[in-house]
Amino acid sequence: MKVLISDKMDARCVEILQENPGVEVDVQTGLDEAGLIDIIGEYDALIVRSGTQVTPPVLEAAHRLKVVGRAGAGVDNIDTAAATRGGIIVMNTPGGNSVSTAEHSFAMIMSLARNIPQGTASLKDGRWERSQLTGVELRGKTVGILGLGKVGSEVALRANAFGMKVMAYDPVVSSEVAETFGAQLSEPEEIYAAADFITVHLPLIEQTRHMISDAQMASCKQGVFLINCARGGIIDEAALLRNLESGQVAGAALDVFEEEPPTGSQLLAHNRVICTPHLGASTVEAQESVALQVAGQVGDVLMGRVIRNAINAPSVEPEIYAKMRPYLELAERLGKLQAQLSEGRLERVTVEYHGDVTYPTSVMTSAVLQGIMSSVTGQPVNAVNAPVFAQERGVHVDELRSSEHEDYAALITVVYQTDKERRLLAGTLFGKSDPRLVRLDEYTFDAVPQGHMLFYVNIDIPGIIGRIGTAMGDHEINIAQMSCGRHEVGGSALTVLNIDGPIPQTVLDDVRSRDYISWAKSASL
């Protein structure tokens, strides 16, 4: 079996792979798409970093390829969908660079506090500006950590060592888990109001883009310091510049940018901004760690051992997987919907199987968690690693099974418990492959879980459907399908709309503002 390494990698990667009997390793870096296509048909495994683009044409030419290993967390350079269609496992190495990124983040905090880059530049320029560069101590200050995953938790540990008070926000981390890192779990608004330093460790997803903008900075303590070593775009750079100019923000440290490289950025020239060129994971140790990790994982696949950190491969025999795939898709959609329909911090997920569900339920439960975690973490999540994400965040997962059929031959029910509410969502299959939603809390209905959806609860009086339909039309939103449910005449009713495009926030706010609407949520699948 042959392995191709197409990006610069620590030498230990080759050594570990060659410890597996019958494995040959070639290192050829700097290949473009055409060059990779010419040779990829000879290989059983491909190991890359971010430089190699693993495109559909490359994968189509990879007749022997079993696995693509990414030395690092991000897989944006790998067409995972095309790999899946070709039966090729895609895996990454999460957590291998967490300490490096956390250390870089804390170095940024210290540099902001003590004006180290400005002092260096000043002295090298022949100036002695001690009075202008007076700093602040970290001891006794409050640091707000947005995102308490692998990197954020490491930052929390270091902040505690410096005598800082640590506040942290994470939508899927429990208070108990946060306390193990010396952090007080808080809402973002509480952090903005109290923190002297705010450091970002969240993924860049729709919900976090420009999460910190003018309104959030205005609610911060005057003279707050902002640090972003996560993903460019979480902090609104235009808003940051305005708040630096006004003095509301005392300083900022940026390792990532909305556009990379950040050519022409006014932030780079600002005297209270320090910056680095996306160096968070760029240490000798981090690069060695991810290389060793990916070598071990790829070797395990080639030798027929365990599959770890796979992005697209469930732990099920191929024959069984083909039969249960519709159930897995239903389970994942139930999880994705619950994550979007529910409010509060997730504490417990209970998945109940009723009737003729004969396939491995643990895999389907993992699919539910995959839907949930992919919606809230923004990381590459699959049915293999989703339970780990849940466990790390202190989410309790229960699985119940009953042979009773209730109203359907087979029914999957997902109960989503947060610190604010409990929500139940159930689905089934019509025929062998047609997924349907059939229950939300006390309401029964029949809706197709796909595309863009609007859920709302209203007073059960005549004319409501027409009014909402008119509102959608006024906003040029086309309704594709509608389903309704109620549990008593004259009480409340649920309506589920499938629509042809995403619902703008202004439209959702309009629906919620009507006195006959008690609850409304949008979701996308």
β pairing state of 410-418 and 422-430: antiparallel
Q: How many helices (H) and strands (E) does the chain have?
A: 18, 22
**Residue 278 bears catalytic tag:** yes
> What's the first-to-final CA gap in the chain, in angstroms?
39
Helix 98-114 with 284-302: angle, nearest 10 deg: 160
Choosing from 70, 104, 201, 231, which is the catalytic residue? Answer: 231
The residues, any chain, with a CB within 8 Å of residue 425's CB and separated by 6 or more, are 334, 337, 338, 341, 413, 414, 416, 437, 439, 440
Contact yes or no for 420/434 (Cβ under 8 A):
no
Q: Report residue 121 as tokens.
A: 């530049």
Contact (CB, 8 A) for 347 and 178: no
Cβ–Cβ under 8 Å, residues 299 and 17: yes
Exposed/middle/buried for residue 196 (C-beta within 10 Å: 0-12, 13-18, 19+)? buried
- Tell me: cis bond preceding 387? Omega within 30 of 0 counts: no
Q: Tokens 């003095």 identify what position?
A: 247
DSSP one-letter code for 90:
E
Helix/strand/coil for 492: strand
d(CA 191, CA 212): 12
Please list, in sequence order, all residues whose beta carbon lies within 8 angstroms of the beta carbon of residue 126, skipping any fewer than 6 positions away: none
Q: Which of 114, 278, 436, 514 is the catalytic position?
A: 278
For CA atoms 31, 32, 33, 34, the dihedral sign is negative
Dihedral angle at the C-alpha atoms of 401, 406, 407, 413, nearest 10 degrees? -40
Which amino acid, 76? D
Q: Is residue 467 annotated as a catalytic residue, yes or no?
A: no
User: CA-to-CA distance for 365 and 328, rounded, in angstroms?
Assistant: 9
C-alpha span between 199 and 235 (Å, rounded): 10
Closest by Cα among 434, 485, 489 to 461: 489
- Between the alpha carbon of residue 1 and those of residues 13, 46, 65, 67, 136, the distances in Å are 16, 11, 10, 12, 58
Active-site entry in 179, 259, 260, 442? 260
Interacting residues of 418 by C-beta distance below 8 A, sequence separation 6+: 342, 343, 344, 345, 346, 347
242 is catalytic: no
Q: Do 144 and 199 form a contact (C-beta atoms < 8 A)?
A: yes
Q: Is 439 helix (H, G, I), strand (E, B) or coil?
A: strand
Please say whether the beta carbons of 252 and 225 come within 8 A.
Answer: yes
Residue type at 192 in one-letter notation = Y
Q: Which residues are catalytic?
A: 231, 260, 278
